[in-house]
């Protein structure tokens, strides 16, 4: 075992501990902060849009992606406002729409600027070469791995040779596990604001659901990262 592999193995448990600590801190904050008032205000605003609420959310989300607004915040918000099932559906549509817009802007409008932005980045150079060989598979794998900046990756793929339709489908598949995880975490905020009306059984169900979703997401991420390392070399840390 070489020194790099040994260091990567030592980092993995630390990353898991940091992730679990961040989740615990987020859930604690949701329970202690006046989330009830915030959620009520957000829900009232969405309810006032009626039938158009999902469409408005999708449009706002897609535009935010184009302008590099952190998608994780909006993804979690969808869980608070719409719940896990509808929130995951709306975010899935919105994230793909935003990714599509960014891709098209890079390919047909701002190609030179995007190329200049990622010029000299060894990871993106390796991805570009891998895309030329394997196309949509690399897109899906990078979407499954959260270490890549989502918004910048959207633009970066616009200057590669991947087909637009392949990019869309692979992006949707690769982003879905992470989408469900963040939406589920967001839905816990609503549950925390209604803590008095929740039973012990319901809280146990929430805990099991979060643990299962987190475990699947971590497993899929690790598999994707290993596959990427095999295809583009040791430019990605495990």
Q: Dihedral of CA 83/85/89/91: which sign?
A: positive
Residue 228 and residue 55: Cα distance in Å, rounded?
35
Residues 139, 218, 13: CA angle, nearest 5 degrees: 125
pTM above 0.95, yes or no: no
pLDDT value of position 89? 96
Residue 114 and residue 154: Cα distance in Å, rounded?
10
Below-70 pLDDT ranges, the chain: 1-44, 46-47, 189-221, 223-225, 227-238
Half-sphere exposure of 7 (CA within 13 A, CB side): 4
Burial class (CB in 10 A: 0-12, 13-18, 19+), 188: buried
Residue 228 and residue 175: Cα distance in Å, rounded?
16
Answer whether 193's CB lies under 8 Å from 39's CB. yes
Residue 1 and residue 115: Cα distance in Å, rounded?
37
pLDDT value of position 42? 57
Answer whether 150's CB lies under 8 Å from 178's CB. no
pLDDT value of position 5? 46
Contacts of 23 (CB under 8 A, 6+ apart): 185, 210, 214
- Quick: pLDDT tens for 7-17: 445 555 555 56
Tokens (6 digits) for 41: 């205000």
pLDDT value of position 3? 46
pLDDT value of position 98? 95
- Closest C-alpha among 76, 57, 88, 110 to residue 185: 76
pLDDT value of position 139? 87
pLDDT value of position 235? 47
- Quick: pLDDT tens for 54-69: 998 898 889 889 988 8
Tokens (6 digits) for 122: 């060894």
Q: Dihedral of CA 65/97/144/122: which sign?
A: negative
């Amino acid at each position: 075992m070489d020194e790099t592999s040994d260091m990567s193995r030592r980092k993995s448990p630390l990353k898991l501990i940091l992730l679990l600590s961040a989740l615990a801190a987020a859930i604690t904050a949701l329970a202690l902060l006046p989330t009830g008032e915030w959620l009520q205000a957000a829900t009232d605003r969405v309810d006032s849009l009626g039938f158009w609420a999902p469409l408005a959310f999708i449009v706002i989300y897609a535009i935010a992606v184009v302008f590099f607004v952190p998608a994780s915040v909006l993804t979690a918000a969808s869980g608070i406002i719409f719940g896990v099932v509808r929130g995951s559906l709306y975010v899935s549509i919105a994230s793909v729409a935003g990714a599509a817009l960014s891709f098209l802007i890079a390919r047909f409008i701002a190609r030179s600027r995007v190329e200049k932005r990622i010029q000299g980045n060894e990871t993106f150079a390796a991805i570009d070469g891998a895309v030329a060989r394997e196309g949509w598979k690399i897109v899906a794998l990078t979407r499954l791995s959260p270490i890549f900046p989502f918004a910048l990756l959207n633009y970066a793929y616009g200057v590669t040779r991947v087909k637009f339709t392949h990019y869309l489908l692979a992006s949707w598949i690769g982003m879905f596990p992470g989408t469900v995880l963040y939406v589920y975490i967001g839905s816990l905020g609503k549950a925390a604001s209604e803590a008095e009306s929740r039973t012990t059984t319901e809280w146990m169900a929430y805990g099991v659901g979060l643990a299962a979703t987190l475990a699947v997401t971590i497993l899929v991420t690790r598999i994707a990262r290993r596959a990427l390392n095999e295809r583009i070399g040791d430019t990605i840390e495990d």
